[in-house]
Amino acid sequence: MVWSADRFVDGAVVTAKYYGMAPLLVGMVVVGFGTSAPEMAVSVLAAMQGSPDIALGNAYGSNITNIALILGVSALIYPITVSRQVLRKELPILLAVTAFTFWLIQDGRLGRLEAVALLLVFGLLMAWNVLISLRSRSTVLRPTEPASDPTGMTIRVALGWLVAGLVLLVLSSQVLVWGAVKIAVGFGVSELLIGLTIVAIGTSLPELASSIAAARKKEHDIVLGNILGSNLFNTLIVVGLAGTIRPMPVAAEVLSRDIPVMAGLTLALLVLGFGLRKAGSLGRFKGLLLLICYCGYTLYLISTAIPATA
């Protein structure tokens, strides 16, 4: 999985340079959505099989994991530069989408109308982002020109690794998810807890692997675009598709605990990005703070589940 993530990031970076696309857009559209394929597959299957807690827990738990665990680990490996665009546009949009989702399901139910609304918002946001990127790029390399990449990778090879790396990432993560769920079910853990922890971590492994690989290569926009794009995809597409397939009840814990935690972490990321002393960066100390938040949240989930499973 780590090897395929390395190839996947290389392919994404070279493809972005070749076609004149901003790395942040590639991170959000290609890497972010591509690595969210496991979340989509698991939540859709869970909805079809009548397991709404796994479907919603997977989506929202993955968002919490993406910010607190994956960005935390990535920042510990190498400090991440946060661009002004992320602080002034992408993060506020993610906060607004989170608030909109909470407003839609505050009655404790996700119906087809609400699910379709989430899908429509996603389509509008993506069309807007792509349009802005196409208008703002200054130069686009022609297909006859070689990609200016220090590794010497051609665009054909880059596209090949982009696809192959993504497929291997999804498959390897899915194998780990299946094994983890079987073990958890054997211990009698609730579906919501499984979705928020084991399934969320398992389906977020592509994001973890690709973000660490991008952090090592100092591709900061790829790291942030991956996380922000994945969270948008999970909140709008993953939940929207699951709700369209089968309307589902929303557990009270999701409304009172998990969505507020998800929104709080997004807001914390915005505050940490601006910073008090050094704006525009996520250093190792901030990465450690995010990891502590994730550990605290996970320990709380486990502690509240112990009486029910005893």
Tell which residue, 194, 195, 220, has the closest CA to residue 9. 220
Gyration radius (Cα) of the chain, Å: 19
- Please list, residue by residue across 95-125, b when 16 or more beta carbons sit within 10 angstroms of its beta carbon and e when fewer do: eebbeebeebbeeeebeeebbebbbebbeeb
Residue in the structure block whose two tokens are 């807890």: 193
- Which sign, positive or negative, has the C-alpha torsion 243, 172, 218, 21? negative
pLDDT at 58 over 80: yes
pLDDT at 95 over 50: yes
In this structure, the number of other CB atoms found within 10 A of the CB of residue 167 comes to 14
Determine the pLDDT at residue 236. 92
What is the CATH classification number for the domain harbouring 63? 1.20.1420.30
Please measure the distance between the N-terminal and C-terminal CA atoms of the chain and give it in whole angstroms.
35
Full domain range(s) for residue 13: 2-309
pTM, two decimal places: 0.77
Measuring CA to CA, how many Å separate 17 from each of 23, 34, 133, 143, 225?
8, 19, 13, 12, 15
Helices and strands, number each (H, E), in the chain: 18, 4
- Which sign, positive or negative, has the C-alpha torsion 39, 43, 45, 51? positive
Counted domains in the chain = 1
Q: Take residue 262 and report the two structure tokens written for it.
A: 């998800």
Q: What CA–CA distance (Å, rounded) separates 72 from 69? A: 5
pLDDT at 4 over 90: no
Residues ≥6 apart with Cβ < 8 Å to 39: 58, 59, 62, 203, 204, 230, 233, 234, 238
pLDDT at 2 over 70: no
Determine the pLDDT at residue 38. 72
Percent of the chain at pLDDT exceeding 90: 22
Mean pLDDT of the chain: 79
Q: What CA–CA distance (Å, rounded) separates 122 from 133? A: 17
The 10s digit of each residue's pLDDT in 110-124 is 999 999 999 999 889
Determine the pLDDT at residue 33. 66
